[in-house]
Amino acid sequence: MIAATELRLVVVTPETTLIDQNVRSLQFPLFDGQIGVLPGRAPAVGRLGTGELHFDTGSGVERYFIEGGFLQIKGHIVTLLTNVAVPASQIDATKARAELAATQQMPVGTDEEYAAKQQAQESARRKIALKDGGHH
């Protein structure tokens, strides 16, 4: 039984259930801002953004880079369905800077190409920020 002071975080990618553990609190990006979740939070659904997921396990804080998807908060369970979830420790800042530089060459002839370029730039910038800055 999970205590009223804990949440259960479940992170699912197309490949696997990456995380399924009790946490004290968590923060992650929505498509239009950040959200923090504490035990007792009202139910919710929404779209995920791109950026840092970090959560307090009670024995430390863990950090991941996530990119898009959906969330559901129901009872004490917070489920994040995301395309990408990478531990912060596995992000290569040099590679992320190269990704950002490469986005400059992306075409922007159509609305779809423009949106793809904006998303690629945002993704690279968030990875760099996660490695360089750590916390907000």
**Using 50, 70 and 90 to split pLDDT, how confident is the model at 2?**
low
Q: Are 76 and 8 in contact (CB under 8 A)?
A: yes
pLDDT above 70 covers a percentage of the chain that reads 94
Average pLDDT along the chain: 90
* Cα(50)–Cα(66) distance, integer angstroms: 6
Q: Per residue in 22-57, pLDDT tens?
A: 999 999 999 998 999 998 888 999 999 999 999 999
Which residues on adjacent β-strands are paired with residue 50? 67
Q: Beta strands of 1-136 (E only): which ranges?
A: 7-12, 17-23, 25-30, 33-37, 44-47, 50-56, 61-74, 77-87
DSSP for 91-107, written as a single string:
--HHHHHHHHHHHTTS-
Q: Per residue in 62-105, pLDDT tens?
A: 999 999 999 999 999 999 999 999 999 999 989 999 999 999 99
